[in-house]
Copies of this chain bind each other. A is one copy, B any other.
Amino acid sequence: MARAVASVATDDSDAASGFVLDEGFERFSQVDDVFSRSSWDERIRSEKSAKFYATYRRPLANWKSAPGFQQRDYAFRNAAWHVTDLIAAFDGESRNRDGFLDPLSALQDGPDERIQIGTPADAAKEIKHIAKAVGADLVGITAFDERWVYTERFDPGAEGPRPNPLPEGLEHCIMIGQAMDPDLIQTAPSALAGASTGLGYSHDVVVLLTLAQYIKNLGYEAVASMNDTALAIPLAIKAGLGEYGKHGLLITPEFGPSLRLGKIFTDMPLAHDKPIDFGVKQMCNMCNACSKACPSKAIPDNEPNNRLHNRSNISGITKWSIDGEKCFGYWSKINSDCSVCIRACPYTRDYRSRRNRVWLRLSKRLPKLALRLDRREGGGERKAAVEWWPVEIKPRE
């Protein structure tokens, strides 16, 4: 059953998470998502966009000779997506796209009776413990917030809207973050870097299915979601996973913007986390690395505002916004997802290194100095794909 229309009013945690909604706010329809539009909107749809998708099912027959776009790069990228595609029934036959247009359906019903799991704080502690054991890199919990739920899903068969039903009473949302491979990302833009996206999703899908099945096995409801059903970033910010960046991505203290998100809506009573502040706003205000690096000029170097580039932006919210048409246009051109903004971002670092953890602390207190250090160290520079591969192979003539 579809939920009633959301109220526009902001709530207490909006301020802390930096969202400024105005009267012009409208919930987003997934029909207006740039990926959906590449099916139905002539402004986006093209031979190139069709070829872009086709290469995920079957690599190009005529390989490019550019490093990072050769046969083994596509072979690896597509293999990295394979488990996600299996679960998504991404076979071109089904009209469902679990995890992209529809929630993950591969879950079993639980028992009728609900187990008692103590206070909401106890239950939250337990859910986080399980999530980590299952392989989640990050986990946070926030309240269900209808404002970020899509008004409609996109039906790829009808090339139009379809309902986006969610069971009543799912008042809590568990946000999951799955790190993307930092070495692969350094080669962006490349088909090779696209493997980090596919692997991120494939691990995400396992964590989400396992954790959601656990909740169902306790007798509660759980709807597991990746890019479907609702916008992930506002919920992730409210769940304390990170802050919003100029490139329109979530930036976390653990992986910068180099991660995939997942979410589970549930009626299991869970205590909520609070938004965090580790200095991203001031850093993004003075840094324009992503904007400068973006090959399609899709990321303006400006202040947060409520202007819209096109219908793929959300109305009535003051924030940094990117031009999805330009962004996806570049993906179509190179036959792979881009990720250059992730590679260029000074927060994209391997924080297992002590040096990088020190940099993160510095970035909050002395962002200008941190930025200068990052650039001096060659932060964000593209690594050659051939450096990632252990063996060099000459492309076919």
Residues of A within 8 A of B (CB): 58-59, 61, 71-72, 74-76, 78-80, 82-83, 86-87, 106-108, 110-111, 115-118, 122-123, 125-126, 129-130, 133-135, 181, 183-184, 195, 199, 202-203, 206, 209-211, 213-214, 217-218, 389-391, 393
Contact = CB atoms under 8 A, between A and B. Distances in A.
Contacts of A217: 59, 74-76, 78-79
B115 A199 contact: no
Contacts of A71: 115, 218
Contacts of A122: 390-391
A115 B75 contact: yes
B117 A391 contact: yes
A112 to B, nearest CB: 10
B206 A202 contact: yes
23 contacts: A59-B111, A72-B115, A72-B126, A75-B110, A75-B217, A75-B218, A76-B214, A79-B210, A79-B214, A80-B134, A82-B107, A82-B213, A83-B206, A83-B209, A116-B393, A122-B390, A126-B390, A126-B391, A129-B389, A133-B184, A133-B199, A202-B210, A206-B206
A50 B116 CA distance: 29
A274 B380 CA distance: 40
A390 B129 contact: yes
Given A199-B133, A202-B210, A108 B126 contact: no
Given A58-B111, A86-B87, 10 more contacts: A72-B115, A75-B214, A76-B217, A79-B213, A82-B108, A115-B393, A116-B393, A118-B393, A123-B391, A206-B206
A64 to B, nearest CB: 14
